[in-house]
Chain A
Amino acid sequence: DAGVTQSPTHLIKTRGQQVTLRCSPKSGHDTVSWYQQALGQGPQFIFQYYEEEERQRGNFPDRFSGHQFPNYSSELNVNALLLGDSALYLCASSSLAGLETQYFGPGTRLLVL
């Protein structure tokens, strides 16, 4: 049984560019959450998707947007990249509409130059 998978594993972009990160949830999970982990810090909640809708959002600007597909996979899009967007982006999936434990993928490390 595959766990949560994310792609790509690493990414280098320049300021002002746009990036799309992808996540496939664990089998049987219907909810996807995205977190940003800056170096030396704990993960910060970006948003959560359930039934293809953004259900809850953290304190992140509108440059951060997402999508959930009918197969429950998800994308995180970041526009107009800033140097401060450099971080490890973690996807977590859960079942029972997000009420169960969140299981994390390996992350995508984004470097903005």
Chain B
Amino acid sequence: AQSVAQPEDQVNVAEGNPLTVKCTYSVSGNPYLFWYVQYPNRGLQFLLKYITGDNLVKGSYGFEAEFNKSQTSFHLKKPSALVSDSALYFCAVRDGSNDYKLSFGAGTTVTVRA
């Protein structure tokens, strides 16, 4: 079985400040980890992924995430948040050893105030 936990329902930051969205995962095989963003009444937009290699992954729109195997975490970060980053963020995991499905967390709503 695989699962994702996003411990914060909401994250509020001021524009220009660093943004962090937390994610921890559980998977029996190799973790393939993903971050998606969802704007109101829209589908999910891919931001970045970790499959293997460097633990720090860089993605779209200045976002990055750090894979930490010992803490089973994959936190999303952005050094300087923009008002346009306000959206719903989902972390997802796939068991790369023997599975095709993505398992998603419940999502974190990010609000960036001007």
Q: Indicate if A104 sits at the interface (CB-CB under 8 A).
A: yes
A 89-113 to B, binary, CB cutoff 8 A, 1 in contact else 0:
0101000001001111111010000
Nearest-neighbour CB distance to chain B for A85, whole angstroms, equals 19
* B100–A104 touching, CB < 8 Å: no
Cβ contact within 8 Å between B90 and A42: yes
Report whether B46 and A101 are in contact in the complex, using a CB–CB cutoff of 8 Å: yes
Contact with A along B37-60 (1 / 0, CB 8 A): 000011111100100000000000
A106 & B42 in contact (Cβ 8 Å cutoff): yes
A105 to B102, CA, bound (A): 15
Q: Which are the 7 A-B pairs with shortest beta-carbon distances?
A: A42-B104, A45-B101, A104-B44, A104-B43, A106-B43, A98-B100, A107-B43
- Interface residues of chain A, those whose CB is within 8 Å of chain B, are 4, 6, 31, 33, 35, 40-45, 48, 55-56, 58, 90, 92, 98, 101-107, 109
